[in-house]
Amino acid sequence: QEEKAELESRIRKALKDQDAVLVAHYYVDPDIQRIAEETGGCVADSLEMARFGNRHPASTVVVAGVKFMGETAKILNPEKRVLMPTLEATCSLDIGCPADEFAEFCDQHPDRTVVVYANTSAAVKARADWVVTSSCAQAIVEHLDARGEKILWAPDQHLGSYIQKTTGTDMLLWQGSCIVHEEFKFQGLEDLKALYPDAAVLVHPESPAQVVEMADVVGSTSQLIQAVQSLPNERFIVATDNGIFYKMQQLAPNKTLIEAPTAGNGATCRSCAHCPWMAMNGLENLLHVIEHGDQEIQVDETLREDALKPLRRMLDFTA
Ligand code: CIZ
Ligand code: SF4
């Protein structure tokens, strides 16, 4: 405990010394989320993380999350130094959508508007017309549909088919998935709901369709956090990374939060509902990178300019 307090005070000092601001995702270690809040940084989803890093005057942005979030910060802020606790923290959606294969896929469908989820590499974004996150995907697809555009969507198939269903848009889907959300199980959720019939079921749309269909609220991380605050229910069953419980409980201390089951028997499994790459962000590597400045995000300048256009479109659309 003392060791943790020592690490935390060194992190706070190092942030000041380096003119750095800490931006953390809802899925990372609660200790890191708390330090980000207490030092004037932010805790947010990937859309808000991008906005915040862009707005903040600090010359160094430290991104606690996964690599695409660091890359997004660098694409938007080439003049700033962008550090991450570890550059090894990636995402199954990013891994499952290699830029060369994706470019081929796009070349085969030149008549479609290319919309990619933020959870992709800079090279994949550079090939896209639009970048979206789960909090603005639906509105952007509706906007494109109203203009009569057909869409090529990548990489998350579950979010893609959810939006396809709700908007009725013509969408061709890349078959990627999130290894955390695809573990949520319909049968287990049904059993848990029978145990707690009064609970509201909150589901992130990266989950399988059957699980999404059981939801009272389907939404991005920030939308699910809002639901816990605004719905009258006392109990919530939550199907997204359990790192989010820190923020939910902070904003709604009197509500009871239950993890959605990741196994068919209704048992929960902490390690299943937590992203292994988000979990690579710890106090020690966070301190190390602020003090030493290694693990710096670099994005090739041509790639950066190409990736900036679809990202800017998203930020302008949601402004
Ligand atoms: O699952 C993720 O990586 C999410 C939800 C990212 C985001 O948009 O905040
Ligand atoms: Fe990627 Fe899923 Fe981890 Fe989010 S939770 S970073 S989508 S693997």
Quick check: CB of 240 below 6 Å from ligand 1? no
Closest CA to 117 of 54, 46, 202: 46
Is residue 269, in this structure, part of any structural domain at all?
no
Binding residues for iminosuccinate: 25, 46, 117-119, 134, 204-206, 221
**Comparing 79-83, 216-220, 266-270, which segment has the lowest mean pLDDT?**
266-270
Is residue 188, in this structure, part of any structural domain at all?
yes
How would DSSP label each residue in 36-101? HHHTT-EEE-HHHHHHHHHH---SEEEEES-HHHHHHHHHH-TTSEEE-S-TT---HHHHTS-HHH
Is residue 264, in this structure, part of any structural domain at all?
no
Question: What domain range is 163 assigned to?
Answer: 93-173
* Whether the predicted model's global pTM rises above the 0.80 cut: yes
Decide if pLDDT at 319 tops 80: yes
Is residue 123, in this structure, part of any structural domain at all?
yes
Is residue 37, in this structure, part of any structural domain at all?
yes
Is residue 306, in this structure, part of any structural domain at all?
no
Same domain, 105 and 65: no
Going by CA atoms, what residue is nearest to atom 3 of ligand 2? 275
State the total domains in the chain.
3
CA 179 to centroid of ligand 2, rounded, Å: 7
CA 207 to chain centre: 13
Same domain, 97 and 85: no
- Cis? peptide before 155, omega within 30° of 0: yes
Quick one: average pLDDT of 156-166? Answer: 97
Is residue 309, in this structure, part of any structural domain at all?
no
Same domain, 144 and 65: no
CATH of the domain at 129: 3.40.50.10800
Band of pLDDT at residue 268, cut at 50, 70 and 90: low
Same domain, 85 and 7: yes
Is residue 266, in this structure, part of any structural domain at all?
no
| Strand ordering across the sheet containing 81-83 | 42-44, 20-25, 60-64, 81-83
Same domain, 153 and 81: no
Choosing from 229, 259, 289, the residue where a domain stops is 259
